[in-house]
Structure 1
Amino acid sequence: MGRFSAAAKHHQMIAEIYELQLFDLKNAVNHYEQATDYFKSEENNSSAEMCSMKVAHYAAIFEDYQRAIEIYQQTALTHVGGTLLKYNIQTFLFKAALCHICADILSGKHVIQKYVELFPMFEDSNECKFLFELVESIETDDLNGFVMAKFNFTSKFRCDELVKTLLMRIEKIISNGIDLR
């Protein structure tokens, strides 16, 4: 009868207030999750996806990488073979791969290959090419190579706050001198 949809919109509105006015991100995430569930129950997939992307974003910010990875992968999987722009799928896979690398810096090559098998068009994307450069510099413990690859990518392509944050975290892990070999 549309009541879940109304409740979902209210939770989304409350989440936005917590996020943008009160700067209480934990409560914002809780309300985005509730809105996602309610939108899904009403089969309003686009609104549910929008709210779940907020949850994934903040999960990655709060270093809950596994949760962010699950949301990004699930969203990408629902659109493979669908009508969503291929760019969005590539963006979801790119962010999931960055979260994987932050969680386990040595898992990069395996994860990227998995995403290429899942969505072959990803291999030709600029994001994937950058990820391979990034992984190569990690494997060779080449901080300068990483910094150059990051600079080249971020100067050519628009990166959102989350991507910049994840790249800074990866750079910090590499610069702390962790032996990656």
Structure 2
Amino acid sequence: MRRVVAFLAAAVAVVATAGPARAGGPAGGGGLFGGWTPMTCTTGGIDRAELRAGDQFLTLDWHLDCAAPADSRPTYGYGRYVEKLGGEVRSLQEYAPTAPTLYAGAAYLPTDVAAICAVTDYKVRVVCVKVERDPVSNAAVAVRPLPTDDPLVDVRLSYNPGVESSPACGGCW
């Protein structure tokens, strides 16, 4: 019994003296929200949104007008939104040490993605684009700016730290 009490006391001491959780790199790590260490940043812009017709390949570049505080390593990412299903956070990245923080991504655009936003917190969308699709083929035909308060993206995001992309589509938005 004494051994059990001593083991439990030692375990509590280790947990009580652990330092604050920090993101462990570009893909998150040990942040406050299961790998995501959000920081509220509310300004930025889309610098490029290009859809290559025919192959459904989307290139997005944006900037955030924020930088990481010297004593922390917060992360931002993008939210991908599916009609009527909400959004999920993907591709966590660390902020630059000086503003602006730049992001550039290019990947295949799955047919279920309706919008993509640069996100800095579960409820903060800085800039968004909507994917417009052909009503018959469901192929993406254009990518246009979308207000960050549009009902399509005005939802709380989910984040699953173990899943950055679908195994069937490793290079997808």
TM band (smaller chain): under 0.3
Compare the two structures and name the one with the higher helix fraction.
Answer: 1
Compare the two structures and name the one with the higher strand fraction.
Answer: 2
| TM score, norm. by length of structure 2 | 0.27
Instruction: Identify the structure with bigger relative contact order (alpha carbons < 8 Å, sequence gap 6+).
Output: 2
| TM score, norm. by length of structure 1 | 0.26
